[in-house]
Structure 1
Amino acid sequence: MILDDDPDGDWTSGGPYRCAPDVYRIPLPLPQDGLRAVNVYAIPDGDGWTLIDSGWALAESRELLTAALGRLGAGLGDVRRFLVTHIHRDHYTQAIALRQEFGAHVALGRGEESGLAEIHRSGRDPFEAHRSRLLRAGADALAATIEATRPEPGDLSVWEPPDEWIEDGAEIAVGDTQVLTAVETPGHTRGHLVFADDAAGLLFAGDHVLPRITPSIGFEPNPTPSPLADFLTSLQLIRSRKDASLLPAHGPIGMRVHERVDALLEHHGDRLDATLAAVREGRSTAQSVAEALPWTRHRRRLPEMDTFNAMLAVLETQAHLDVLAERGAVTITLQSGVAHYTS
């Protein structure tokens, strides 16, 4: 028996769960304490299945996906297509691994093409983009710590290009009656897509709209000059569309899209205010401003965070400072490669 999804239950517990007619949520594990799982959505499609996102190419993830599909009367070879919201490894890499074995069709947003090209650039240092941003933020000590502890580059075979690049606004038929509209929502990554089923009132939101957290901004191989500005614009775009039930990549279902978008816009408005207040107190770099701000729902301070999440915090602070500069609230002066912000 397939259980109906329970928004009040443990959203990370193994599925599948029926979250809408002919839509099943399959949580797959992640090797991190923070996010814990990624939601993959399975939709029957003719004599097979279309999956929205795929999970991380890990043995445990594959095993749980196999078990969940088995409860739906299917196997890995019955997955005909993956529609991937963005290139982060917990969404993309298992799709490529399964394509190599079973031949599934993998589709990804056109805006991610340059990111994949950067991943495969000859002689590329995977930490290069993050290092330069951390040094600009005045976080040289944090950059050195990450440099000393970062793992070796992984297997690039799971970063092969997709079979299809999805254009913004593309209409994708799934099964006999369902049509998904691809909507480009840059910010989390430059080519992030959400998939809207307007007839059924559903939004497969990837990491763009999450029910409990705000996504990291611009954490990718080649971020845009102002990823937070892109993200806020994308939120406004989704707010202008018809409201829908939120089907997120991380966290439980049960929220309405407009409700959560409003909360995210309010959060970033508050964050911009707090960031500006820290500058007015005399803090001038993204590192020093990040040290003045609370982080996560538990309101942790920067020294309490592990190095990876501290890096995300500093880079997010820099993104907020750059938006303040774009709005004329602060000015930027470069001193020995470090951006200093003054009001």
Structure 2
Amino acid sequence: MTPSSSSPGTSTALAVSPDSGTHWSAEGAWPVAEGIHRIPLPLPMDGLRAINVYVIETPDGLVLVDGGWAIPEARDLLDRCLRGIGAGFGDIRRFLVTHVHRDHFTLATVLGGEYGADVALGIGERPALELLNDETLDSNPFVDVLVTAGAREVAEQWVAMQNDEQPDMSMWAFPTTWLDGDHPIDLGSRTVDAVHTPGHTPGHFVFADQAAGLLFAGDHVLPTITPSIGFTVPPAPLPLGDFMASLTKVRALPDLRVLPAHGPVAPSSHQRVDELLAFHETRLDQSLAALAAGTRTSHDVAQELAWTRHERAYTELDLFSQGMASMETKAHLELLVAQGRATRTEDPDGVLFTAGP
């Protein structure tokens, strides 16, 4: 997962995490609070470089928030770091997975199956897993989403890049526990509140340890980048509306230290949520302004916007990021329609958007 847009914050590529005193992706089991360690695991071929897996010590064993990507490099590093704190895979009792994307879910479900650990995932991710496990699925499900965004050429290039590669279904087993609605989770020595935060994906959850002042934020609140919106199948009707509502929901919690899935530990959930909301309000205005010249597809509008913290042109993005940019732009335009600021028309070459009610 590579978010395609940015908002104020230190560059992820340069960010130092206060718990380690070094770059946030540096190898180690870094203590972030009493009984909690942060272990960054590698993400080959991904601009984010790493995912933070959080290890919580409990009287019954270890609980991990997220699991990492099921690749040998990540598995070996997780094993090495756990041994560094006197533990191993057999000590893991539970995975609390924030969402279904492969860098969060796949190593959790593989290790859960091998060692009998419970794997908990938001029930809103069930349609995505059912789609992946559909034996009749014979094409990339993101192709249709890209076509509706007006990015048919990008979709065709995505298909060409696949080389008929099929996903390893052992990485996409259903979880043992579905998380449904907001509720407390008793971990023995602490209680975390499971908080449903749809937007980045429909079943995304964060976990708030309010007593310790910590927010296990997954990809919902990232300290240096904005999470991608619209990169999910089956597509949600208004993913950006869901995301902004979920940000407001997290803003209503006490101000917590952010333990993100990508990037350094950050001091204030309130500050970062405010920045993210402001960014998307500005992005909505920019998207609407791009419609002033006439009817556009999401792909058309994406080409008129700047991307990443470096304000790059769309043409400077790699092919994968171009596709994500088109889908994210569609999420903004669909919300403008819901707000009565634009209209939409279905078309074989992509949904067409026009400014005005």
Shorter-normalised TM range = over 0.9
Task: Give the Cα–Cα distance (whole angstroms) in 2 for the partners of residues 327 and 335 of structure 1.
Answer: 21
Match of 2:162 among 150, 154, 166: 150
State the AA in 2 paired with 1:96.
T
Q: What is the CA distance between 1:283 and its match in structure 2?
A: 5.5
Match of 1:303 among 315, 329, 333: 315
For 2:48, the equivalent position in structure 1 comes to 35
For 1:133, the equivalent position in structure 2 comes to 145
Secondary structure (helix, strand or coil) at the match of 2:22 reads coil
For 1:270, the equivalent position in structure 2 comes to 282
Task: Give the Cα–Cα distance (whole angstroms) in 2 for the partners of residues 314 and 8 of structure 1.
Answer: 37
Q: In the alignment, is the contact (CA less than 8 A) between 1:30 and 1:90 conserved in 2?
A: yes
Q: Deviations over 1:114-172 (max 9, x none)?
A: 221121112114522x2222212221111111111125122111111111111222211
For structure 1, which segment, 319-328 or 114-123, has the greater mean C-alpha deviation from structure 2 after superposition?
114-123
Match of 1:116 among 117, 122, 129: 129
Match of 1:249 among 239, 243, 261: 261
Task: Give the Cα–Cα distance (whole angstroms) in 2 for the partners of residues 84 and 201 of structure 1.
Answer: 20
TM-score (norm 1): 0.95
Q: What is the CA distance between 1:336 and its match in structure 2?
A: 3.1
Task: Give the Cα–Cα distance (whole angstroms) in 2 for the partners of residues 11 and 190 of structure 1.
Answer: 28
Point out 4+ residue stretches in structure 1 off by more than 6 angstroms: none
Q: Deviations over 1:14-51 (max 9, x none)?
A: 11101111111000000124111000000111142110
For 1:226, the equivalent position in structure 2 comes to 238
Structure 1: give runs of 5+ residues left out of the alignment. none
Whether 2:207 is the aligned partner of 1:195: answer yes
Whether 2:233 is the aligned partner of 1:240: answer no
Whether 2:75 is the aligned partner of 1:54: answer no
Q: In the alignment, is the contact (CA less than 8 A) between 2:98 and 2:205 conserved in 1?
A: yes
Task: Give the Cα–Cα distance (whole angstroms) in 1 for the partners of residues 351 and 235 of structure 2.
Answer: 17
Q: In the alignment, is the contact (CA less than 8 A) between 1:285 and 1:338 conserved in 2?
A: yes
How many aligned residue pairs are there? Answer: 338
Secondary structure (helix, strand or coil) at the match of 1:25 reads strand
State the AA in 2 paired with 1:62.
R
Q: In the alignment, is the contact (CA less than 8 A) between 2:230 and 2:330 conserved in 1?
A: no
Whether 2:302 is the aligned partner of 1:290: answer yes
Q: What is the CA distance between 1:337 and its match in structure 2?
A: 4.8
Q: In the alignment, is the contact (CA less than 8 A) between 2:152 and 2:349 conserved in 1?
A: no
Whether 2:96 is the aligned partner of 1:79: answer no
Task: Give the Cα–Cα distance (whole angstroms) in 1 for the partners of residues 48 and 139 of structure 2.
Answer: 22
Secondary structure (helix, strand or coil) at the match of 1:43 reads strand
Q: What is the CA distance between 1:332 and its match in structure 2?
A: 1.1
Task: Give the Cα–Cα distance (whole angstroms) in 2 for the partners of residues 8 and 290 of structure 1.
Answer: 37
Secondary structure (helix, strand or coil) at the match of 1:172 reads strand
Secondary structure (helix, strand or coil) at the match of 2:206 reads strand
Q: Deviations over 1:243-282 (max 9, x none)?
A: 1110100000023101000000000011001111111133
Q: In the alignment, is the contact (CA less than 8 A) between 2:41 and 2:50 conserved in 1?
A: yes
Q: In the alignment, is the contact (CA less than 8 A) between 1:5 and 1:17 conserved in 2?
A: no
Task: Give the Cα–Cα distance (whole angstroms) in 2 for the partners of residues 279 and 14 of structure 1.
Answer: 46
> Map of 1:316-327 to 2, 5 A cutoff?
316-327=328-339
For 2:8, the equivalent position in structure 1 comes to none
Q: In the alignment, is the contact (CA less than 8 A) between 1:167 and 1:182 conserved in 2?
A: no
State the AA in 2 paired with 1:169.
D
For structure 1, which segment, 4-13 or 315-324, has the greater mean C-alpha deviation from structure 2 after superposition?
4-13
For 2:340, the equivalent position in structure 1 comes to 328
Structure 2: give runs of 5+ residues left out of the alignment. 1-16
RMSD: 1.5
TM-score (norm 2): 0.91
Task: Give the Cα–Cα distance (whole angstroms) in 1 for the partners of residues 58 and 139 of structure 2.
Answer: 37
For 2:226, the equivalent position in structure 1 comes to 214
